[in-house]
Amino acid sequence: MTKFLLRLSLCTAALVAVTTTVAQAADYEPPPPEMRGSWTGPYIGGFVMGVGVESRYDAECNDPADCLIDPEMSGFTWGGGLLAGFNYDIGNGILIGVEGDYGWAGSVDNDDPDEATDMKIKDIATLRARAGYIFNHDTLFYATGGFAWVKTSFGGEVGSIVDGREYIDDTQWTGGWTGGGGIEHAFSEYLHARLEYLYLGMDDEEYDLNVGTVDLEFDGGIHLIRAGLTINFGNYF
């Protein structure tokens, strides 16, 4: 009987201990996710990008021999740039903001030997609004849209093949609109990284090459895939 009572006491004590532990675990609330600083405030940064161009041109020359064909002017090149903006966290994970950037890129070429032309993308600038949702306090999913400007230089070897050809180019600013989206992650209170896509719908542009004019049509637009880093100053606000 004594051994039985001892065993019963031990089992009862163990049951009480387990019950108490389970009850405490039920009342336990996990700590909130680690905060990565405030999203509200200004930021500056830089980016690298891949640039895809889909365009076509029509040439009108004083001498038809100077204009042989009207080829496609499309291709892929690389670039980079700087950006700055301001975020405002309005609560419940919703963020709005404004951002501007300035960048530069390389050139795309037409490899046709009869009409060797190229287009250099000298400058790309956008001014956009941003809006998105902050997930888990440190990751932003956003959409963006606004205005875009591109400075391009269009040139080529013009003139009769028999009489000799010379390279002539012309530079113009072209306006349009842009839209896209991306994801941004806060790795610390100040350092953020992002990956985004922008589509640029640009107006047609005309270039004067002395012997005639070239009408460039951005029929497929310009595509930007950008990866960037920013320094955010939200903790000062």
pLDDT, one tens digit per residue, over 186-233 is 999 899 999 999 999 999 999 988 877 888 889 899 999 999 999 999
Report pLDDT for 12: 43
The top-scoring range by mean pLDDT among 1-5, 152-156, 158-162, 226-230 is 226-230
Q: What's the predicted TM-score (pTM) here?
A: 0.79
Domain count for the chain, please give it: 1
Domain contains 211: yes
Domain contains 17: no
Residue 213: which domain range? 31-236
Say how far residue 6 (Cα) sits from the centre of its chain. Answer: 72
Residue 151 near residue 123 (C-beta atoms within 8 A): yes
Q: What is the CATH number of the domain that holds 129?
A: 2.40.160.20
pLDDT higher than 60, residue 3: no
111-115, 127-131, 222-226: least confidently modelled range: 111-115
Report pLDDT for 236: 66
pLDDT higher than 50, residue 11: no
Average of per-residue pLDDT values in the chain: 82
pLDDT classification of 143: cutoffs 50, 70, 90: very high
28: three-class secondary structure by DSSP: coil
- 31-56 CB burial, b ≥16 within 10 A, e <16: eeeeebbbbbbbbebebebebbbbbe
Mean pLDDT for 117-129 is: 93
Residue 111 near residue 142 (C-beta atoms within 8 A): no
106-110, 114-118, 158-162: least confidently modelled range: 158-162
Residue 237 near residue 41 (C-beta atoms within 8 A): yes
Domain contains 22: no
180: three-class secondary structure by DSSP: strand
Domain contains 18: no
Domain contains 10: no
Please, which residues have CB within 8 angstroms of residue 203's CB and are 6 or more apart in sequence?
A: 174, 175, 176, 218
pLDDT higher than 70, residue 159: no
Domain contains 35: yes
Domain contains 24: no
Q: Which residues pair with 125 in a beta bridge?
A: 102, 149
Domain contains 9: no
